[in-house]
Structure 1
Amino acid sequence: MALTVRAAVAVEAGRTELRELAAPTTSATSGLLKVAVTGVCGSDWPYYQQLPASRGPLVLGHETVGHVAELGEVARAKWGVKEGDLVALEEYLPCGHCEFCRSGEFRLCDATDWRLGGLRYGATGLSVEPGLWGGFSQYQFLHLNTVFHRVPAGVSPRHAALALPLANGVEWTYLQGGAGPGQTVVIQGPGQQGLACVVAAREAGAERIIITGLSNETDTRRLALARELGAHHTIDIESQDLLETVADLTGGLMADLVIDCAAGGTDSVVTAIQLARKRGRVILGGQKRRRIPEFDSDRIIARFLTVKGMRGHSYESVELALQLIAGDRHGVKKMSTHAFGLEDTDLALRSLAGQGVQGAIHMTIDPWR
């Protein structure tokens, strides 16, 4: 391959620049991926907006799909893939031997937590050799502990890049939330994760799927798409009373499952607890990065609620997501709305916060455009 690789490098808060980086030399225990596309995730925004001095500059992007380009002998034996295979990567680089890895919950492995000094695709700086740890690049380094998923035949890289956000929806709604036939599911927030939860709730056979949003143009479009994906009711919480509307729709019973995917403040956490019926479940899917000033924990006890905090996805949920994409179940491919080249990485990232293109839901970066 070429001696240099073209990549979009986050160099300071709110700015990337195109650079030619040295191509990594692979060893027996590593490999190289030729990136086809990488999805733009909402979790890229905090890094982009406030690039941590301890980690930048870095190559963002962790929803990577590409073809295996090079393989070391040890890596080949461990991974079970071959050159040319189209694969989707997870962001995690687990140790493989702790209790969480051994029990299949490798996302909880300390090695995946950058706050504890762990490595993670799309969140590891250029200063950590060999530097190409992100997908907004033509090639990406493959660590020995990479978690792979084979992309089903007939699925394009662009649509395969939906695997991780859709996997979050499957994980939160079905595997952890327990959504099923006859149930009412309320989803707060119509972003990528909220829409993925709609798809998962529909696939699980929920009887009543309700999703909330705001009055702005972005959420209005997304709520319309939510109805196409399977939501039975949409609620504009700025023009409708959320609690009263859900009570009316459920005959006063409220929701079996509430999933908080809303961005911003902590009000949605309080509301999620209020929306759940007795013996209901509440899934908290989005970090608020702030404390809740008035949190009525007694309500959890009085209504016998189960409240779970979510951290990403499991291997199983990614595999299920790829199956949903392969069959375009419930029109899930409609979530993929925009594709950009490396030179438009800033535009794509700003679009996450409504500062770029209109109508963006799931975007991809194609480094070869």
Structure 2
Amino acid sequence: MSEPLPDRMQAVVVHGPEDYRLEEKDVPRPGPGEMLLRVEAVGVCASDLKCYHGAAKFWGDEHREPYVQVGRSPGHEFVGEVVAGDEEAFAHHRVAIGDRVACEQIVPCEECRYCRRGQYWMCGPHDMFGFKNFDGAMAEYVLVPIRARVHQVSKQLEPHHAAFAEPLSCALHAVERANISFEDTVVVAGCGPIGLGLILGAREKNPMNLIALDLDDDKLALGKACGADLTINIREEDAVARIKELTDGYGADVYLEGTGHPSAVGQGLNLLRKLGTYVEYSVFGSDVTVDWSIISDDKELDVLGAHLGPHCWPAAIKMLEDGKVPVEQICTHQFALADFQQALDLVGDTSGASVKVSLLPGRRG
């Protein structure tokens, strides 16, 4: 049985760059094929912060159309309890009232060239929870369309731990793109939420050496806890020189970039060996310039992008449910929905005060 639903709810609403407001809205009622979730937790992503600060990727410039929509509620890293819907929705998603589910960020159209070829994560229209055409989960309730990709998650996990399935799945996809071999030296740039996911995923591939880079010793210690064999504080040590020293002068086999900082791009190109593999996951807030001759004439590198977490959600959820992820250390801060501005500001704090920040819409003050 569906629970009685309130008429009104609180939700964060986008009005423009650096203009997000907590407002009261009608609780959405699911139509045919739709479900309603009571949001238990929603992570604050670095891309949420870049959007908040007006990055051109989201708000557009002379080269691109705006992507984020004014009037939307942000939030794409979420888990919630199924509280309403019809039999078509429940049968399609194989869930029932009371189940806890997580949704993939993208809501694929199922009709474009990419969707028809099974490459749904690159869907042409690219509708996305919290950005385009569908409200996200910085709200007490979120509507789930029938086209959404839905995954059940154990209720034994804390809600903010379960919501980490989204960034973890993204990191696992980037790791899959790298085609890591047992003999490889793999370098991960960054020990934030994505970087830690990259370390966790790379550890499952069991390369010969797994090296984590960061500017913060506490985050490097967390990188160790996630499986890094060696950590390098790039504020104190030349990572390129150290990695070449460890590899008989050749350089690393694989570089996984998860910082979103422009300097990490050139760093990766320089520390890779010839014929090495560079995988870029990050969303950058500004343009990045590099010497492309390193990629071509100097080293003939394989440079790969990674977007979202296709086909990696079941593995990410299993890792969480199996206790392979030190979520107690990763998920450092939780806030009530009314304190969303504090959460955004904390994610933007460059002092390293937080790792993963989440909102818990059911928490009061």
Distance in 1 separating the partners of 2:245 and 2:350: 36
Match of 2:62 in 1: none
Match of 1:341 in 2: 336
Per-residue deviation, residues 256-287 of structure 1 (Å, max 9, x unmatched): 1101222232x322221222223221101123
Offset at residue 299 of structure 1 (A): 4.0
Tell me if 1:263 matches 2:277: no
Match of 2:63 in 1: none
Secondary structure of the structure 2 residue equivalent to 1:111: coil
TM-score by length of 2: 0.89
Per-residue deviation, residues 174-233 of structure 1 (Å, max 9, x unmatched): x1111242221111122211111111111111221112122xxxx232112111211122
Distance in 2 separating the partners of 1:320 and 1:7: 31
Distance in 2 separating the partners of 1:299 and 1:146: 37
Per-residue deviation, residues 263-315 of structure 1 (Å, max 9, x unmatched): 232x322221222223221101123355444423354344332110121211x
* 8 Å CA contact retained: 2:191, 2:222: no
- Using a 3 Å threshold, how does the CA distance of structure 1 residues 19 and 287 change in structure 2: closer, same or farther? closer
Distance in 2 separating the partners of 1:38 and 1:292: 30
Tell me if 1:57 matches 2:53: no
* 8 Å CA contact retained: 2:294, 2:300: no
Q: Out of 212, 219, 223, which is 1:222 matched to? A: 219
Tell me if 1:322 matches 2:336: no
Secondary structure of the structure 1 residue equivalent to 2:33: coil
* Matched letter for residue 136 of structure 1: M
**Structural mapping, 1:1-369, within 5 Å:** 1-50=5-54, 52=59, 55-112=69-126, 119-124=127-132, 133-152=135-154, 154-173=156-175, 175-214=176-215, 219-265=216-262, 267-288=263-284, 290-297=286-293, 299-314=295-310, 316-329=311-324, 331-354=326-349, 359-369=353-363
* 8 Å CA contact retained: 2:161, 2:327: no
* 8 Å CA contact retained: 2:331, 2:355: yes
Secondary structure of the structure 2 residue equivalent to 1:176: helix
- Using a 3 Å threshold, how does the CA distance of structure 1 residues 195 and 350 change in structure 2: closer, same or farther? same
* Matched letter for residue 95 of structure 2: V
* 8 Å CA contact retained: 2:265, 2:290: no
* 8 Å CA contact retained: 1:230, 1:330: no
TM-score by length of 1: 0.88
Distance in 2 separating the partners of 1:39 and 1:335: 12
Offset at residue 253 of structure 1 (A): 2.7
Offset at residue 355 of structure 1 (A): 6.6
* 8 Å CA contact retained: 1:169, 1:196: yes
Offset at residue 149 of structure 1 (A): 0.7
* 8 Å CA contact retained: 1:76, 1:82: yes
Secondary structure of the structure 1 residue equivalent to 2:180: coil
Distance in 2 separating the partners of 1:298 and 1:366: 45
Distance in 2 separating the partners of 1:330 and 1:30: 32
- Using a 3 Å threshold, how does the CA distance of structure 1 residues 330 and 249 change in structure 2: closer, same or farther? farther
- Using a 3 Å threshold, how does the CA distance of structure 1 residues 294 and 36 change in structure 2: closer, same or farther? closer
Give aligned-pair identity as a percent: 27
Match of 1:115 in 2: none
Distance in 1 separating the partners of 2:350 and 2:198: 25
* 8 Å CA contact retained: 2:108, 2:120: yes
* Matched letter for residue 342 of structure 1: L
Per-residue deviation, residues 230-267 of structure 1 (Å, max 9, x unmatched): 112222223211211111122223111101222232x3
Secondary structure of the structure 1 residue equivalent to 2:137: coil
- Using a 3 Å threshold, how does the CA distance of structure 1 residues 330 and 68 change in structure 2: closer, same or farther? closer
Offset at residue 74 of structure 1 (A): 3.0
Distance in 1 separating the partners of 2:149 and 2:35: 13
Moved more, 332-341 or 317-326: 332-341
Alignment length (residue pairs): 349
Runs (5+) with no aligned partner, structure 1: 113-118
Distance in 1 separating the partners of 2:137 and 2:155: 22
Distance in 2 separating the partners of 1:60 and 1:190: 24
